[in-house]
């Protein structure tokens, strides 16, 4: 009897030991597989679908962007939410279509904060899940209440909508104020030389490009003839803040350094970084290291510069041992434009390069080149390379990232598509509203419908077709990606279906 009990106890203890051992192993494996991944969005400015060699560019080489494309999911039908910058950035961070916010337009440097401080954003959602959040680069979503004193802490801003750290330019490189702002404070500001900014009137004694063209080193073409900083005429008027003014040719290096610092400072905790690069938006000011590198003038050179910065940034992630636990999303805020306000040889030296990649339109346009942009997801060891034709949008990142980190938060218009972004599913969106200058169109499957709109057919300043027409436009993008054949008359049933879907999503009274 004692022998039987002893054997039974031994068996129980042995099985318990095996169970605990297995449980420990399983727990470690689960912990490893569920460790909160770092999340990085690399967001370029005005980069076209055809500006990346992985997407077919021949005249431009982008080896570091290609590394992401050839190691991750390269989407051929990925979209920004708008054909202009501020609306796209709003949708990216909030998961809300920009046309729902009447103020989501291209903002001036003195515009009030576009995102509500009580509004859900990607960084807010991630911060609730234990992430440290940061933005480095272009903001262009407004600051303060529209009456900013640049000599005090500027608030509300990025820090009030979810970012623990921010190092930004307020608006764009071609707009004043031409200073960096770190956590709400103008960097390197001399209190004895206060900054003044105005978008309606100049300050007495301050030269402008109109009155003092001899001071300009970059000639303006349209709309950029106000205050001159570093020889470049800008939009808006600025006085003071000399010590705080940025050096345009060093901007890429400055933002790269801040992005690298953020990674190093937070490598031991889950982090989210929104790395919003300024290239190839005007004014295109490549560092001397990149001048002449492409033979395509400053526009080509700043794309090469951006690609180099991305390579250096990826090297930092590799060196810090972070690549295997970091999801990277690479994309652009809208389609391309050549002449966007300055004479910089972008048109003259374009050669055979097609920034649109065979698409029609460009920045500001409802045609496909306005919003169809390079869109890549990369996660070393987690995402297998594939080319996906799934219809995806930047507005979906909020809900998708929420599902990745175990949050139940969702954006109003944001669909949870993490399996698509991970390359596990090729079923993208059923439909998508696209926007350009507050006008909207509908993508549904392979079809694009543009309602009738008043307005010019082309923006003569930038030489881009806008998509405006007195008639409905309907295109089958599988058969006609260049949108040369309007099928509205040939497919009345499909047109009616598209109009009905459009009206349901937008609301019939708002669908204008």
Asked if the structure places residue 389 within a domain, the reply is: yes
Asked if the structure places residue 111 within a domain, the reply is: yes
Q: Residue 305 belongs to a domain with what CATH number?
A: 3.40.720.10
**pTM as predicted:** 0.93
Asked if the structure places residue 408 within a domain, the reply is: yes
Question: Where are the strands (E) in 431-485, listed by range?
Answer: 431-436, 439-444, 447-450, 458-459, 464-465, 473-476
Q: What token pair was written down for 354?
A: 């097609």
- Give residues with Cβ within 8 angstroms of 213, minimum separation 6: none
Neighbours of 509 (CB within 10 A): 7
d(CA 312, CA 256): 8
Together in a domain, 307 and 443 = no
Asked if the structure places residue 17 within a domain, the reply is: no
Note the pLDDT of residue 107. 97
- For the stretch 479-491, what's the b/e string if a residue is b when 16 or more beta carbons lie within 10 angstroms of its beta carbon? eebebeeebbeee
Domain that holds residue 58: 36-186+244-423
Evaluate if residue 304 carries a pLDDT over 80. yes
Q: Residue 490 belongs to a domain with what CATH number?
A: 3.30.1120.10
pLDDT tens-digit profile of 76-104?
Answer: 999 999 999 999 999 999 999 999 999 99
Together in a domain, 181 and 65 = yes
Together in a domain, 441 and 415 = no
348 and 297 in contact (C-beta within 8 Å)? yes
Note the pLDDT of residue 215. 98
Asked if the structure places residue 27 within a domain, the reply is: no
Residue 501's Cα: distance from chain center in Å? 27
Give 110's DSSP letter: T
CB burial of residue 54 (10 Å; 0-12, 13-18, 19+): middle
Note the pLDDT of residue 243. 98
Asked if the structure places residue 306 within a domain, the reply is: yes
Last residue of a domain, one of 375, 401, 423: 423
d(CA 411, CA 92): 10
Together in a domain, 367 and 449 = no
Together in a domain, 224 and 295 = no
- Which among 310, 327, 316, 303 has a CA at the least distance from the CA of 275? 310
Evaluate if residue 177 carries a pLDDT over 50. yes
Evaluate if residue 1 carries a pLDDT over 50. no
Note the pLDDT of residue 508. 62
d(CA 112, CA 95): 20
Residue 423 pLDDT level (bands cut at 50, 70, 90): very high
The H helix count followed by the E strand count for the chain is: 9, 22
Identify the bridge partners of residue 137 per DSSP, sorted by sequence position. Answer: 168, 276
């Amino acid at each position: 009897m004692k022998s039987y009990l002893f054997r039974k106890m031994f068996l129980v203890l042995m099985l318990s030991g095996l169970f605990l051992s297995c449980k420990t192993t399983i727990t470690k494996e689960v912990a490893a597989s569920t460790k909160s991944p770092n999340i990085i969005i690399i967001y370029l400015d005005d980069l076209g679908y055809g500006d990346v060699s992985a997407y077919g560019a021949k005249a431009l080489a982008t080896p570091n962007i290609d590394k992401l494309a050839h190691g991750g999911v390269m989407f051929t039908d990925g979209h920004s939410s708008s054909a202009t910058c501020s609306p796209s950035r709003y949708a990216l961070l909030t998961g809300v279509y920009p046309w729902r916010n009447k103020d989501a337009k291209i903002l001036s440097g003195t515009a009030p904060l576009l995102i509500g401080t009580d509004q859900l954003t990607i960084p807010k959602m991630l911060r609730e899940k234990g992430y440290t959040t940061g933005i480095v680069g272009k903001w262009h979503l407004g600051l303060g209440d529209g009456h900013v004193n640049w000599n005090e802490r500027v608030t509300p801003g990025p820090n009030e909508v979810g970012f623990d750290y921010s190092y930004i330019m307020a608006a764009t490189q071609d707009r004043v104020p031409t200073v960096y702002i770190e956590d709400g404070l103008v960097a390197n500001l001399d209190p004895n030389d206060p900054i003044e900014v105005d978008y309606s009137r100049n300050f007495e004694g301050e030269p402008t490009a109109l009155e003092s063209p001899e001071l300009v080193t970059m000639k303006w073409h349209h709309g950029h003839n106000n205050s001159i900083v570093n020889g470049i005429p800008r939009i808006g008027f600025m006085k003071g803040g000399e010590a705080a003014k940025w050096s345009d040719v060093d901007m890429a290096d400055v933002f790269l350094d801040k992005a690298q610092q953020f990674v190093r400072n937070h490598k031991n905790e889950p982090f989210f970084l929104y790395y919003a690069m300024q290239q190839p938006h005007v004014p295109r000011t490549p560092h001397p290291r990149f001048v002449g590198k492409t033979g395509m003038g400053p526009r080509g050179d700043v794309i090469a510069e951006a690609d180099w910065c991305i390579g250096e940034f990826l090297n930092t992630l590799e060196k810090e041992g972070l690549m295997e636990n970091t999801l990277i999303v690479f994309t652009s805020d809208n389609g391309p434009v050549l002449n966007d306000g300055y004479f910089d040889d972008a048109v003259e030296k374009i050669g055979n390069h097609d920034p649109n990649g065979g698409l029609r339109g460009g920045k500001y346009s409802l045609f496909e080149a306005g919003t169809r942009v390079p869109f890549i997801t990369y996660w070393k060891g987690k995402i297998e390379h594939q080319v996906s034709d799934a219809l995806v949008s930047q507005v979906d990142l909020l809900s998708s990232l929420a599902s990745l980190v175990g949050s139940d938060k969702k954006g109003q218009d944001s669909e949870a598509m993490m399996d698509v972004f991970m390359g596990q599913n090729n079923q993208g969106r059923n439909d998508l509203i696209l926007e350009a200058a507050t006008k909207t169109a509908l993508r549904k499957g392979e079809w694009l419908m543009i309602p009738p709109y008043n307005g010019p057919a082309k923006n003569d300043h930038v030489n881009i077709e806008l998509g405006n027409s007195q008639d409905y436009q309907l295109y089958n993008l599988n058969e006609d990606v260049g949108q040369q054949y309007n099928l509205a008359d040939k497919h009345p049933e499909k047109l009616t279906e598209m109009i009905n879907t459009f009206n349901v999503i937008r609301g019939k009274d708002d669908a204008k």
